[in-house]
Structure 1
Amino acid sequence: MDDRRRLARDDEEPHRGGRVRAVFPPTQPEVSLSRALLSPRRIALVGASADAGRLTARPQRYLRRHGFGGELFPVNPRAAEVLGERGYASLADIPGQIDFAYILLGTEQVEAQVAACAARGIPVACVLADGFAEAGAEGAALQARVVATAKQAGIRLLGPNSMGVINTSEKIALTTNAAFEAESIPTGRVALVSQSGSMMGALLSRGAARGLGFSHLIGTGNEADLTTGEISSLLLDDPQVDVVCLFMEAIRAPDMLAEAARKAHALGKPIVALKLGRSPFGAELAASHTGALAGTDAAADAFFRAHGILRVTMLEALLELPPLVAGRRPPARTHRAVGVMTTTGGGGALAVDALGVRGIEAKKPDAAAACKLAAAKLPTHARLLDMTLAGTKPDRVMAALDGLRAAEDTDIALAVIGSSAQFRPQDSVAGLVEAAKLPGKPVAAFLAPQAEASLRLLAEAGIAAFRTPEGAADAIAAYCSWRAPRDVVARAAPAVAIPDAPDEADARALFVALGLYSDAVVMQEAPPPALRYPVAAKILSPDIAHKTEVGGIVLNIADEAALREAAATIRARVAAGAPDARVTGILVQPMAKGLAEAILGFRRDPEVGAVVLLGAGGVLSELHRDTSLRLAPVSEDEAREMIAEVRALTPLSGWRNLPRGDLDALAKAVVAVSRLAALDGVREAEINPLIVHGEGQGVTVADAWIVRA
């Protein structure tokens, strides 16, 4: 990003030297944030270059190229004229009010220019340069000073590291993104908020290639002040916006994004997100199994699901999903199933296979669908309604889709179109377009060939059309996972004091306060009386999370003499394996055997906040990675959903006549642990394993761990 740091070198040198103290006179009338940010009419370009080939000349060139009719004020102390427009030596020299200042100077000059914006009372300032919080401690300190100056003056700051603001309907191309060298920019009813400036141009060009346009494109960069959530909320108020798409590298200000999601649901304007970081390589692993399992992208997934944000994983799907959900609300329930018709056998099979990989079933027609299909003399017996020989005659396609949409056990009707989409675009999509006009479940299309004309026709008709079966499956899986934002019931925090260095006994006391009984005692020298043998003995230490790794556990101890010997053995092993660990005693508990072992954990995720995790338990929990995650706290219904999502717990439901487990007790345990969200003093907590007994026999806390916040 060196180009952004060295934006001003040759012909622009406003304000060299040390920090500038801001002065805040009320120099202009108040302008709403929405108008100043999204629809500015008087724009200052601070550091605008008189050399049309330079990066810092682009905003002025692009604004005029794409028809901006407002006033521009290039600030350049060395040029009386900048690209045919009057130049100004400083912001102070510009007459009248200014809605928006785009600061195009290098990093070291930004602080002075934000102070100058403050002196003029400019409502919004955007910073292009990088080298701030993302660059280390010095950059973070600079960013903090810039934000403080802006806040003191009432300025809203976009960036740093922002490629600007585009509003296509108002012909505002206030950006340095090279994609706007294009002669024309298609407009649309989808707004894009992107933390990556370069991806704004990539998505713009990919959309334009298939007839899809955007209403707005906003680059948020570092989000030092204005965040994805707050900007999304502003965009939702715009009558030109039907869907808001997010390209995210991180979830910043999750409360604001959650608030925007609730607003989106109320207005019937869906939010679709693509967030990076699905790979575990970038995940921060904590000391507990829960940290290793929940410290990945699973927490972000839980956040999006809880707040009714559709999440896709592919760039193509971010473009292609919006027409499928525009004007719709989350279905009351989904079947994770699709009715598929095809005019190409191989293409249809590709789609069915890709859907299946994502857990979406291509269903055979049910009774309602079969009745309609039979009346139209179409096949009714297969997962794939193959119309290869019938072709894409509009009336036949309409009849097929009408029949598939009548099914009561599917969510979407998908049409897979073969070579006719390439060579006969009008004929191939006509039936699709007419079918989609009728009320009912969504209709979508996967075009097997390269068929740009058909893609454009479908885009004009507002029909979701996919270039690849994988993109179709990604988008349809997002739709089938779409739910209304959940209602969160406030739950009281447990009344318990947590020591500075808690061990397992302290963790168990916390879980007892949550209602999870713990049959364990602490042993120092002599074995406690009245134990129920056989027992397990474990080292007690605030420094040892995984006791098996240091030989800190002995199981199936038959009597008191064996317990004395086991305790001595444990202490010796720990002294050798973890010599610096603080030892607070030996924990002794009766051996317990159940039908299954689960891991039940809690963690405060650095991006989204409190989460609760349920998964396959035991020492191999990280290896299996068979888990379910939700934002905490959860309701009992959500807890039961989590249980159903963990494959290892399926036998507890009586699968294939196996003994039923106490799923009621397990659900209550999940709810109880999720209440830790109200206890600020806990960063992580875990029961692993939690032993699940037979129906009506409860659960047993076999091992516990907590980490203070």
Structure 2
Amino acid sequence: MPDLVFIVTPAKFVLDTLEEAATLGVASCVVVSAEAGNDEERRAFRDRIAQLAKSSGMRIIGPNSMGLMNGQLSLNGSFASGTASGKVPAGTMACLSQSGATLSAMLQWFGESSVGFSWLISTGDESATRTEDLLQAMADDPDVQSIMLFLEGVADGIAFRKAALNARLAGKPVILLQVGKSAKGREAVASHTGRVAGTREVFTGVARETGIIETESFVEFFGTAKALSQHPHRRDGLGRGRRAAMLTVSGGAASLGADQIYAIGWELPEFSPVGLEALEAATGQHGLRNPADIGGVWRDPEKISRAMSALAQEADIDTLFISLGAGGVFGEAVGQAIVAAAADITQDVFVAWVGMSDSVSRILDQGGIPAFADLPLAVRAAEACAQFSMDQERVQEATDLSAALSRPLGDIAMNRSDATGLWTVTETLEELRQAGLPCADFAVVAGLDAEQVAAQAAEIGFPIVLKLSSSDLNHKSDDGGVAVGLRDAAAVADAVAKFTDIANRKRLRNVSVLIQRMERGAEILVGIKRDASFGPVLVVGLGGTLAELHGEVAATALPTTPAVLNALLERNDRLKLILAGYRGQPAADRDSLVSFLTKFSEWALNQGPRLQEVDLNPVMISGGRISIVDARAIWN
């Protein structure tokens, strides 16, 4: 009985062949054939494949897969081009791709590299076996040490997050190139495969929490994966920080290097007096700083080797960048010197060599030195290595999040007859208050009776805020439906009169007035958006009337953990500034804010899939005091 069957037949024979394979007890099938017919026929074809896989327990990859390959098994069950004589180089890197052509491009790019592959799988249309299933299989496979993902979309966000976390806990870096993050990109993905791509913010949040390393181009994707395969860990088990030294050949290159390194949050420490003396002695140059412009002496193999050895003695340097150009007849000897010197030091070494020849590239590759044609690519690869190592140190965070993803949800409010359409601020605040979330003290008066509103305002206590509420009014501030800082009944009467004019002019229905205690503090936006792939997503950013103008938000899929929420608050620079106590405001109590976000997230999760969106804007924060001031919800 075969373990693996490839089906490359006309579409009309595929289902019969799969049924025969299932009867024989075949473990896995790869359907290279693409479905045919109209939309309904194609959907029925895919559904039948899914049913067969479920009933038989057979893993079915495809249909419309380019096939799979395994370098360790000398297996090439694919029509991908790019391999020499059809042979896949053996190694420990796996690649899962939702684009078959990407496998061909990757094999061409890696060529005769020292880095090879275990599995390369074109996932096809994923009727039965999804990318997240295969990612879990790669996390479990002892012959796989690193994983590349070319991703257009995810069907089961929870399963994807679990699999990525399991890869992280297994010590396997996952390198991602995800397309469809822009609006036009999502349209292209939908037209290509029918998959639904998540937004950029959601995927970035998922990558941060799971330890996935994001890339932005094919060259960066391939180069970063190669670097992590060559050096997943720093030598001698030493930790990786973000502290670098750079040797370069010109002042311009030194300036460019400093720009690139500081842009990703790394440091370029000043050399110690002893280290500087050793570097100057090694190169014969004086007045050096970090980055070190050593000029033309780099062509001397002995001097470049001694310079690397000198910098290796600096205890506060984790990574050494060597930025070179051209080289001509000197290139090969310099490349050999770099390889030899790197073997004797504990720092990671990354080479950026503009105009690097094929022969120099081969020398560095065989020596295990990540080498790039441009400095920004080397810097980003170094950052990926540092990120992976730091994530490996935070095992408990990954374990806690994995447990949260496996925990059953509480009672889901699936059958609420009132949970339909757009909820006004009054409806939403009342729901949140009943859930025990901290809302600014408020009362609601149906209609536009100024005396009733004034009486409620006096009971709450001046100064107060009034808000006009109607399901027909989305942006109250823009339409004049908010009055702040009202200190007496006369001011309340004037505001209600203006609200009456707005309601009449806009023909608003079901009008009411929200009376709130005046709260002060920093304004932030907290929201829930339902993502087609990952479900409910928590969004945090700057709040108030400028929330949409700033547009800088951080997102994380739910469920989550306090550690992830703490990290979430660090991802938005402007928000960090506000929470730290901007312009005399009290600094926010981070523990209180994380506790609030946790409770709000749990409430959102327990509402079930009918909850589509919630906006809390603003949430006022002053020290440890948190108050939801305005809110709305959208239900399916």
Q: What's the TM-score once normalised by structure 2's chain length?
A: 0.82
SS at match of 1:169: coil
Question: 2:629: which partner in 1?
Answer: 702
Residues 1:176 and 2:79 aligned together: yes
Instruction: State the TM-score, normalizing by the size of structure 1.
Output: 0.74
Alpha-carbon distance in 2 for matches of 1:216, 1:100: 14
Corresponding position: 1:536 with 2:536: no
Instruction: Measure how far apart 1:299 and its partner are.
Output: 0.9
Please give the alpha-carbon distance, in whole angstroms, between the structure 1 residues aligned to 2:430 and 2:36: 45
Shift in Å at residue 345 of structure 1?
Answer: 4.3
Match of 1:467 in 2: 373
- Offset of 1:200 from its aligned partner? 0.5
Matching of residues 46-65 of structure 1 within 5 Å: none
Q: CA contact under 8 A between 1:310 and 1:478: conserved in structure 2?
A: yes
Whole-Å separation in 2 of the counterparts to 1:683 and 1:217: 37
Distance in 2, Cα, partners of 1:332 & 1:558? 63
Say which is worse superposed, 215-224 or 670-679, in terms of deviation: 670-679
Q: Give the secondary structure class of the aligned counterpart of 1:516.
A: coil
Give yes or no for contact 2:93–2:117 (8 Å, CA) kept in 1: yes
Within-5 A mapping of 1:533-612:
533-541=462-470, 544-567=473-496, 569-570=498-499, 573=502, 577=506, 583=510, 585-594=512-521, 596-612=522-538
Residues 1:675 and 2:597 are matched in the alignment: no
Q: 2:426 aligns with which of 481, 498, 505?
A: 505
Q: Which amino acid aligns with 1:389?
A: G
CA gap of 1:597–1:337, structure 2 versus 1, over 3 A, is farther
Report what 2:61 is aligned to: 158
The alpha-carbon deviation at position 521 of structure 1 amounts to 1.2
Alignment match, 1:83: none
User: CA, structure 1 residues 418+258, in 2 after alignment: closer, same or farther (shift >3 Å)?
Assistant: same
Partner of residue 4 from structure 2, selected from 69, 92, 100: 100
For residues 198 and 186 of structure 1, what CA distance do their matches in structure 2 show?
Answer: 18
Compare 372-381 and 341-350 and name the one that shifted more: 372-381
Deviation at 1:265, TM superposition (A): 3.0
**What's 1:413 paired with?**
320
Corresponding letter in the other structure for 1:597:
E
Asked if structure 1 preserves the Cα contact closer than 8 Å seen for 2:278 and 2:310, the reply is: yes
Q: Report the CA distance shift for 1:155/1:137 in structure 2 as closer, same or farther (over 3 A).
A: same
Bigger fraction of residues in helix = 2
Partner of 1:189: 92
* Counterpart amino acid of residue 589 in structure 1: Q
Cα-to-partner distance string for 1:195-230 (whole Å, 9 max, x where unaligned): 100110011101117665433311012222222233
Instruction: Confirm or deny: 8 A CA contact 1:338 1:363 kept in the other structure.
Output: yes
State the alpha-carbon separation in 2 of the partners of residues 214 and 411 from structure 1: 29
Post-superposition shift, 1:131? Answer: 4.7
2:149 to 246, 250, 260: 246
For the pair 1:688 / 2:607, whether they are aligned, the reply is: no
Task: Structure 2: state its 5+ residue gaps.
Answer: 188-196
Match of 2:443 in 1: 521
Residue 555 of structure 2 aligns to a residue in which SS?
strand
- What is the CA–CA distance in structure 1 between the aligned matches of 2:204 and 2:117, rounded to whole Å? 26
Counterpart in 2 of 1:391? 298
Tell me: CA distance 1:537–1:372, structure 2 relative to 1, closer, same or farther (3 Å).
farther
For 2:593 and 2:356, locate their aligned partners in 1 and report how far apart those are by CA, in whole Å.
51
Distance of 2:582 and 2:486 partners within structure 1: 35
CA contact (8 A) 1:541 1:584 kept: yes
Asked if structure 1 preserves the Cα contact closer than 8 Å seen for 2:220 and 2:377, the reply is yes
In structure 1, distance between residues paired with 2:596 and 2:615: 12
Find the aligned partners of 2:94 and 2:411 in 1 and give their Cα distance: 46
Could you say if the C-alpha distance between residues 117 and 183 of structure 1 is closer, same or farther in structure 2, counting changes exceeding 3 Å?
A: closer
Which of 106, 114, 118 is the equivalent residue of 1:215? 118
The offset of 1:160, in angstroms, is 1.7
**Pick aligned residue for 1:644 from 564, 567, 570:** 570
Equivalent residue letter for 2:515: V
Is the Cα–Cα contact under 8 Å of residues 232 and 385 in structure 2 kept in the other structure?
no
What is aligned with 2:547?
621
Q: CA deviation at 1:626?
A: 2.1
Partner of 1:476: 382
Residue 190 (structure 2) aligns with: none
2: CA distance, partners of 1:551 / 1:494: 40
Deviation, 1:575, is: 6.1
Deviations 1:607-646 (A, max 9, x none): 2344322211123322212222234455555444333332
Say which is worse superposed, 619-628 or 107-116, in terms of deviation.
107-116
Q: Go from structure 1 to structure 2 and tell me whether the alpha carbon gap of 1:492 and 1:564 turns closer, same or farther (over 3 Å shift).
A: farther
Please state if 1:198 is matched with 2:104: no
How far, CA to CA, are the matches of 2:287 and 2:55 in structure 1? Answer: 68
Counterpart CA distance in 1 for 2:354 and 2:431 is 57
C-alpha contact (below 8 Å) 2:441/2:460 kept by paired residues: no
Computed over aligned residues only, the root mean square deviation of the Cα atoms, in angstroms, reads 3.6
Per-residue Cα deviation, 1:497-528 (whole angstroms, up to 9, x for no partner)? 76313432343244443542431211114212
Match of 2:191 in 1: none
The one-letter code matched in structure 2 to 1:194 is: S
Distance in 1 between residues matched to 2:224 and 2:180, nearest whole Å: 20
SS where residue 118 of structure 2 aligns?
A: strand
Distance 1:555 1:140 in 2: 56
Between the aligned partners of 2:200 and 2:512, the Cα distance in structure 1 is 37
- Range moving further from structure 2, 158-167 or 601-610: 601-610
Q: Partners in 2 of 1:336 and 1:205 — Cα distance?
A: 32
3-state SS, counterpart of residue 644 of structure 1: coil
- Aligned-pair distance for 1:315? 1.0
Post-superposition offset of 1:303: 0.9
Distance 1:621 1:370, change over 3 A: farther
- SS of the aligned residue for 2:368 comes to coil
Aligned to 1:328: 232
Corresponding residue for residue 338 of structure 1: 244
Q: Secondary structure at the match of 1:707?
A: strand
1:78-117 superposed matches below 5 A? 97-117=1-21
Range that drifts further, 360-369 or 596-605: 360-369
Q: Percent identity?
A: 24
Query: Residue 533 of structure 1 aligns to a residue in which SS?
Result: coil
Shift, 1:300, TM fit: 0.8
2:274 and 2:154 map into 1 onto residues whose CA distance is 44
- Residues 301 and 212 (structure 1), Cα distance of their counterparts in 2 relative to 1, 3 Å cut: same
What secondary structure is seen at the aligned counterpart in 1 of 2:199?
A: coil
Distance across 1 between alignment mates of 2:62 and 2:340: 45
Return closer, same or farther for 1:640/1:173 CA change in 2, 3 Å cut-off. Answer: closer
Alpha-carbon displacement from aligned partner over 1:289-322 (angstroms, at most 9, x marks no partner): xxxxx96211111111211222211211221123
Distance in 1 (CA, whole Å) between partners of 2:15 and 2:274 is 67
For residues 361-389 of structure 1, give each alpha carbon's deviation from its aligned partner in whole angstroms, at most 9, with x where no partner exists: 54443678657646756768523122223
User: Structure 1: how far apart are the matches of 2:182 and 2:314?
Assistant: 37
Matched position secondary structure for 1:690:
strand
**Closer/same/farther in 2, CA of residues 333 and 460 from structure 1, 3 Å limit:** closer
Opposite residue 445 of structure 1, the aligned amino acid is V
The farther-off stretch of 397-406 and 161-170 is 397-406
After superposition, the Cα gap between the structure-2 partners of 1:495 and 1:173, relative to the gap in structure 1 and judged at 3 Å, is: closer
The letter of the residue matching 2:429 is R
